[in-house]
Structure formats: structure tokens, C-alpha cells
Chains A and B, each alone.
Chain A
Amino acid sequence: MADSLEITTLVVAALSRCDVPHVMVGSFARNFHAFPRSTKDADIVLAVDAAGLNRFEIELGRDFSLDPQTTFETNTGTFRHILIHKATEFKTELFLLSSDAFDQERFRRRLATSFNGHRTFVLTAEDVIVTKLRWHRPKDVEDIRDVIAVKNAVLDWDYIHRWTEIHGTGAKLDEIVRTIPEID
């Protein structure tokens, strides 16, 4: 039976072949910028229309099914499709790029990288922090702490502060920074 690494690789490879503009978010982005934690599913933001989504589904083949219903994701305020690998029910959440100013900005700033040999894109460390400050669930607080601890010296703090001011999340950020022990 396919494992989640193999399934995620198939999804990323299909995105690359279809040339779908995308960015890996969620735990993928968190692990890219901090240290690895188990990832139960993959979260990807796509800039694609219905025809492009259909081409991507065809490219993936019969091992996958795409939930035809778009749902509204309340945490992120974006529309979402669920892609399921039929044999394992491993889920990939596909979020459609929204018109939200920050959603647009973080997509524009995404970093090119590779996943298991296939070209993909990932959120910057600054955008992982700003995104997770908006959600502020317990696991997001841990993730923010870990990303800052690992990347502190190279973070663009002016950019982070600009968005935390807009989102009203500056106090939450200060509180998290205070809990990080001295690293260097």
C-alpha cells in the first residue's frame, strides 16, 4: 500500500506537470522552516480555475478522487477541495487562492524548492509566522515558536511587524517570542 510520502510526491509531481501555480502551506511549510513533525495531510494553495483543477485531477489518475463540492474553510476564509487517495484515504486539502491581501502577498513571495525531486513552492518563514498568528490554535503557537527559534537571524522582522499590525496580532507575537530560550 502507498505511504503518505509516496502519495504527496504523486500530488506534487502532478501539479508540476500541469504547471499549476501553487504553494505548500500547513505542516509542509512548518517543517521546511523548523524541525520535522508528523504530517497527517498535505495543505496546498492553488491559483487555478475550474478547468485547471479538472486537468490536475485527470493528471493524478484513478487512484485519487477530488471532492466535487467546494467547502468554505472558516479558519482561513478560503474555499477548499479535498483530494483523497482512494486506497489509503490520505487527504490533501486544496485551498483556492483568495482575494485577501495577505493571501495574495504570501503567494507572491513563495519560495521555489523541491519535494522528493519534484519542483514545488513553499511559504516563506515570515509568512508561516503571520499566517499562524491569525489562526493562533495551540499547535500554531508551537509552530510559530519553532520557526522563530530556527530562523530568527534571517527573518524579515519589518515585514512580519507590518502584517501583525494590520491583523492586530502583534501582542500575540510578543508573547510567543518571550517564551523562546536563548539559542545562540
Chain B
Amino acid sequence: MSGDFQPLADELYRERVLRARRTPPEERVLEGPRLFDYACAVTLAGLRSEFPDANELELRQALRRRLEIARKLETTN
């Protein structure tokens, strides 16, 4: 990252850390699945736009394929 932006990036990171410290851990763990469900909803909306003639089952299958790709990328990186 360019040195010009490093102080800003550090400040944003610091704010994120301090916010996390104020949030009970039991609440933080619930956010993980919620964020995943939100990401899936957004991806499904994108797939609907890309494949307007696809039915719900086909869209779900396309979503599963994308999730598999994401899993493989995570384990191979």
C-alpha cells in the first residue's frame, strides 16, 4: 500500500479493533453466519440478473458452484 494511505488504513483498522473489543464475543460469532447469508442473498440477486430465465433451483445450483470455487481458493492459497 502507498505510504500516503497507510496512516488512514491504520486508523480505520484501529477503529475496527476498538469496536470489536466493545462487542461481546457471543454477539460477534452470530455475525459470521449472518454475513454469509447476506453475501449469498447478494450473489443470488446477481445471478438472477445474469440468468433471468433460470429457475430458483438452477440459481441455487449456480450459487453452490460459486461457493465451491471460493472454498477451493481458500484451501489452495
Contact = CB atoms under 8 A, between A and B. Distances in A.
A181 B7 CA distance: 9
Interface in B18-77: 18-21, 23, 25-26, 28-40, 64, 67, 70-71, 74-75, 77
Contacts of A33: 25
Contacts, number: 81
A139 B19 contact: no
Interface residues of A, number: 33
A27 interface: yes
A143 B76 CA distance: 17
Interface string A27-47: 110011111111111000000
Contact of B33 (A3, A89, A137): A3
Interface string B9-20: 010011011111
A36 B77 contact: no
A35 B16 contact: yes
Given A115-B29, A116-B30, A5 B37 contact: yes
A36 B75 CA distance: 20
A96 B13 CA distance: 36
Interface of B: 10, 13-14, 16-21, 23, 25-26, 28-40, 64, 67, 70-71, 74-75, 77
